[in-house]
Amino acid sequence: MHEMSLCESILQVLEQQAEAQQYSKVKTVWLEIGALASVETEALRFSFDVVMQGSLADHAQLEIVEVPGQAWCMPCSRNVIVQQLYDLCPHCGSHQLQVNSGDQMRIKELEVE
């Protein structure tokens, strides 16, 4: 379950930014999570609540924005939507896809005090 370590990294970023931006409490965290990022959102929500206890983000809301996976199909020469890694091109059935979006997780926005 790597979601716990992801939340620990999120907390590190929040603490670093709190010092740099001069805030003391995080009320809401918006995360963009790609469909291809291999993150279990329910495990992430559980881990977030556990890791944030007693921190500047204690009782913070976690909002998750899902980003679809996209890949470049070499034979079709176009971007296609993919649901998971190693999907086939929905147009030509090719395996020759290069993922170009939806495999990342990032902090999109914070609501702070």
Question: What are the tens digits of pLDDT across the range 17-67?
Answer: 999 999 999 999 999 999 999 999 999 999 999 999 999 999 999 999 999
pTM: 0.87
- Catalogue all structural domains in the chain, each as residue range(s) with its CATH number: 3-112 (3.30.2320.80)
The answer to whether 74 touches 92, Cβ cutoff 8 Å, is: no
CB 74 within 8 A of CB 60: no
Q: Closest Cα partner for 73 from 100, 99, 103, 97? A: 97
Q: Quick one: pLDDT at residue 1?
A: 60
The confidence band for 89, taking pLDDT boundaries of 50, 70 and 90, is: very high
Phi/psi-derived region of residue 59, left when phi > 0, alpha when psi is between -120 and 50, beta in every other case: left
